[in-house]
Structure 1
Amino acid sequence: MKRTKTSKAWMMEHVNDAYVQRAKAEGYRARAAYKLLEIDDRDHLLRPGMTVVDLGAAPGSWSQVAVKRCAGGRVFALDLLAIEPITGVDFIQGDFSEDRVLDELTAGLGGSRVDVVLSDMAPNMSGIELTDQARSIHLAELALDFAVNHLREGGAFVVKVFQGAGFMEFREEARQHFRTLAVRKPKASRDRSPEVYLLGTGFKG
């Protein structure tokens, strides 16, 4: 009964959410688009002609933003889940930590480096706080490792991280690879959510 009430409350909040309604009106696949839009409006990461990789892309709203703002560039999206095709996005389905997926992406890049790596990945929540936090940090570490191995010098990295155990250590690890590292909490991120976004710019190479 409790779970049913919680699910109904979430659905009501979701349906009435201003960002959900705006996403439907403006053609974005999820309200998460406005998190990236706000970060980019402030920090000017995405520019025409750039090569962008979107990790954990499903359902595709961040890739939609990247395609619009990087006109004439290339956007690669990766996820375990399938997504409906997006014009201008090269989608690879699979686990980006697996060699097969990385080889397919590397072949697509044709030897070129990436300008921006985006990661809005989150684990499937178990409801066990310590477990979920550990999984979140693990995904962030995988995204950072990918960025370190594929970004061009001076490139940028945006990654979702949940505040909690391991957060400060991960932030310090990321800081070592970028000239500047900032924390962003977009308005579209719900207040009660522990999620924040780390923004690394000026990749040291």
Structure 2
Amino acid sequence: MKKCVLITGASKGIGLALSKLFLENNYKVIGTCRSGRVDQISHPDFTAIELDVTCFESIERAATVHLKEHKIDILINNAGVGLDLNTRKPEKESFKQTFDVNVTGTVFFTEAVIDSLNKQAKIVNVSSHMGSVDGCKSSDSVAYRMSKSALNMYTKILSNRLKGKATVASIHPGWVRTTITEGNVAMASLSPETSARNIYEFITSEFETGIFWNTTTQSRLNW
């Protein structure tokens, strides 16, 4: 039986590239996006579902209606925003939006689908090395950095709670050319496809639960 992967933010960037890659490797893929449509993929093993992670009603609907018949082997929390990259001072609205997507939405969507996970499932949260407290040497991107640090803490908490039942990790996908890095073209050296291959290599390995991993270098990151 084919394993099933659930990927949030599947309509573009890393999420789209991951969806295509898992399909190529004989997985069933469920991809979420706000519109509920991923026109770039036409495959019998792909299902697109509508999800707005900032809306609790949308999360509940996705979990209880769209996903109730599915058992998930791998959950990849990829949906995220970076609204204040290179900005030195936090701004109220973008700060709230960043946490709504990167933290609150991710946490409550994960909690909503935990009962749909198969035994020994994997949960992978797409974080960033910018969320490393130990590695922070800058004073910009306050909301983005803090949101990824919070996501990393959730990874640790969840890995403790699900020990022996699921494997949980945070990953840094590299500096990828996506809508998040549009203002940092020089730094965004990786294509979504290259990043997806690195992530796929990690996810399909037997990784330790509760770790923070750099998929570009395939090495551990400090929290």
* TM range, smaller chain: 0.5 to 0.7
CA shift for structure 1 position 108? 4.4
TM-score normalised to structure 1 length: 0.56
Task: Note if 1:149 corresponds to 2:115.
Answer: yes
Partners of 1:90 and 1:75 in 2: CA distance: 6
CA shift for structure 1 position 134? 2.2
92 and 132 in structure 1: CA distance in 2 versus 1, 3 angstrom threshold: closer
What is the correspondence of 1:23-102 to structure 2 with a 5 Å cutoff? 49-59=2-12, 60-69=16-25, 71=26, 73-81=27-35, 82-84=37-39, 85-87=41-43, 88-95=45-52, 97=56, 98=58, 99-102=60-63
RMSD: 3.6
CA shift for structure 1 position 138? 1.7
Partners of 1:144 and 1:66 in 2: CA distance: 20
Aligned match of 2:140: none
86 and 62 in structure 1: CA distance in 2 versus 1, 3 angstrom threshold: farther
Q: Deviations over 1:9-66 (max 9, x none)?
A: xxxxxxxxxxxxxxxxxxxxxxxxxxxxxxxxxxxxxxx7101111221122221112
SS in 1 for 2:104: helix
Structure 1 gap ranges (5+): 1-47
Aligned match of 2:154: 170
Paired residue type of 2:63: L
Partners of 2:63 and 2:113 in 1: CA distance: 12
What is the correspondence of 1:192-203 to structure 2 with a 5 Å cutoff? none
Judge conservation of contact 1:153–1:202 (CA < 8 Å) in 2: no
Partners of 1:181 and 1:142 in 2: CA distance: 16
Aligned match of 1:118: 76
Partners of 1:173 and 1:146 in 2: CA distance: 16
Flag the structure with more relative contact order, 1 or 2, with Cα contacts below 8 A and sequence separation at least 6.
Answer: 2
CA shift for structure 1 position 122? 0.7
CA shift for structure 1 position 132? 5.3
SS in 2 for 1:103: helix
SS in 2 for 1:65: helix
Partners of 1:201 and 1:148 in 2: CA distance: 19
Q: Sequence identity of aligned pairs in percent?
A: 10
Partners of 1:189 and 1:115 in 2: CA distance: 26
CA shift for structure 1 position 123? 3.1
Judge conservation of contact 1:118–1:159 (CA < 8 Å) in 2: yes
Paired residue type of 1:49: K
- Between Structure 1 and Structure 2, which shows a larger proportion of strand residues? 1
Structure 2 gap ranges (5+): 132-144, 178-183, 189-198, 211-223
TM-score normalised to structure 2 length: 0.52
SS in 1 for 2:127: strand
